[in-house]
A = this chain, B = another copy of it.
Amino acid sequence: MDQAKRSTAGSTSASPLVLLSQGSFAVGGSIVRTDGDYTTGLPPAAGQTLHGDHAYAFYQIPIEPRPYPLVFVHGNSQSARTWETTPDGREGFQNLFLRRGFSVYCVDQPRRGKSGQSTVPFELTATPSDQFWFNTLRLGVWPDFFPGVQFCTSAECLEQFLRQMTPTTGPFDLAVAADGISAVADKVGPCVLVTHSQGGGIGWSTVLRTENVRGIVCYEPGSNFPFPEGEAPSEMPSAGGPLAAMEVPLDEFLKFTRIPIVIFFGDFIPSEPVENHGQDQWRVRAAMARLWADAVNRRGGHVEIVDLPSIGVRGNTHFPFSDLNNVEIADLMSAFLSRNGLD
């Protein structure tokens, strides 16, 4: 495709963003019903339905888009906000990849954000947990930021970061989440998933539900690694709790061998057990990601694991795509897409 014709390709944050179109939709989900007949009186539950558990996507299409749209799948306690403006006010991956000529679909998982309607009741506890998250998301060990962390350490940046969290509004259910994301992929057509954390496991399960995932860029997958039946590693203990693998039939597992996948991990992940739960849980997650990549690659797959510090990219938190060096992180993603014919 003619690069020069793409008005947004290679442009900087100072250039206008030129969109062919933008909009949003809900897709997937289920409907629950109560018995009885509905009357036009005040709200009895009788005889009514509830639409819930769908995914919501806000899409933006640049002029002459590249062939594979990017479908962004956020992690736990987040929404598509993850991919927007960074905590320090710069452009996130939504804008950066629009400027690089990709159509972007920023999804709120089922039971989160603008697709918050769950078909299952749920109690929101509003439990103070900022300090827990500060450690878990590897900004540092509360109250100290890690030395050299790629995060603007002002109080204002931290506040923006903490306020981008939004609660899960129903029980987390991997099948419901993956059904929602696969419904997005079915609607969008052949696409690349860009997943983060809890969204990583949703991405793997999405591959088992739709033919439309042509590649995955995954940042720090947290859980739900699907191994072939009989090959799941033992539960891995960590100071952040144990990490269990899941199993799928071998013929399902082989689907992972047919698409290119890259998994990025940031900095401050120890190789030996440490007391700080925030770091230690990423130790076992990175370890299980390596076992999973080996399992896929042994059968002819193409999973790359990029340990960012080992290639000289230092200081990244659990959110490399919104860290201070996110343009460099985007360049690494662009290179993967290019190497694999996905751009």
Contact = CB atoms under 8 A, between A and B. Distances in A.
Contacts of A19: 16-19
A275 interface: yes
Given A25-B160, A163-B54, A123 B126 contact: no
A40 B275 contact: yes
Given A91-B23, A113-B113, A113-B166, A141 B40 contact: yes
B126 A16 contact: no
Given A116-B113, A123-B123, A128-B34, A81 B56 contact: yes
Q: Which of A33, A112, A162 has the largest count of B CB atoms less than 10 A from its CB?
A: A162
A95 interface: yes
A48 interface: yes
A130 interface: yes
Given A56-B81, A159-B51, A160-B26, A170 B42 contact: no
Given A19-B19, A42-B241, A118 B126 contact: yes
A266 interface: no
B24 A117 contact: no
A47 interface: yes
Interface in A256-282: 275-278
Given A18-B18, A33-B128, A117-B166, 20 more contacts: A16-B20, A17-B22, A24-B81, A25-B160, A32-B126, A38-B142, A42-B239, A48-B127, A52-B126, A56-B163, A114-B164, A115-B166, A116-B166, A116-B167, A117-B126, A117-B167, A119-B126, A121-B125, A122-B126, A123-B124
29 contacts: A17-B19, A17-B21, A18-B18, A23-B95, A24-B84, A24-B85, A25-B89, A25-B160, A26-B163, A32-B128, A40-B142, A41-B277, A42-B241, A43-B129, A48-B128, A48-B132, A50-B126, A50-B127, A50-B129, A52-B126, A56-B163, A81-B114, A112-B116, A114-B114, A116-B166, A116-B169, A117-B163, A123-B124, A124-B169
Interface of A: 13, 16-26, 29, 32-34, 38, 40-43, 45, 47-52, 54, 56, 58, 63, 79-81, 84-85, 89, 91, 95, 108, 112-132, 135, 141-142, 159-160, 162-167, 169-170, 239-241, 275-278
